[in-house]
Structures are given as C-alpha cells and as structure tokens.
Amino acid sequence: GEFLADVASLRRIMVPLEVAVTRASQTAANTYRDTTGALAQATFQLRPFVKPGAAADTVGGGQQP
C-alpha cells in the first residue's frame, strides 16, 4: 500500500510500453568492450500520465507569482 501511495503522490507517472530486451549488437559489444556476450539492449516506449493541474508545472518554469 505504501508504494502505491507514493506513486499516487507524483505529478507525472511514466509507464513503459512494448519493452524488449535483446542481446546487444556486435558493434555495441565492441564499443563497450564486452567480451562475455552478456551485454543487453533494451528498447521501449514511454507513456506519460499527468495529474490534472500539474501540466502548468514544467521543468524550469514552475508556478508564476
């Protein structure tokens, strides 16, 4: 219950959709010097949910006096 209460207190909630975790390409493995073959790549989309009244509160903007 406490976790859900904490999430509910947030102004914006981001929900990941269409999550896919795959083995990273050889190019990525070389870039990160992975020699174990354990490097993974995650792709996903985010869907934002904004509480009513929170849209005016933007990064750097905040409420105006």
* Alpha helices (H) along 1-65: 2-8, 26-31
> Would residue 36 count as lying in a domain?
yes
> Would residue 33 count as lying in a domain?
yes
Residue ranges with strand state E in 1-65: 12-23, 40-50
What's the pLDDT tens digit per position in 8-29?
Answer: 788 888 889 999 999 999 999 9
> Would residue 64 count as lying in a domain?
no
**What are the residues facing 15 on neighbouring strands?**
47
d(CA 58, CA 14): 15
> Would residue 62 count as lying in a domain?
no
pTM of the predicted protein model: 0.53
The total number of structural domains that make up the chain: 1
Question: Domain range spanning residue 37?
Answer: 2-50
pLDDT for 26: 94
> Would residue 45 count as lying in a domain?
yes
d(CA 36, CA 39): 8
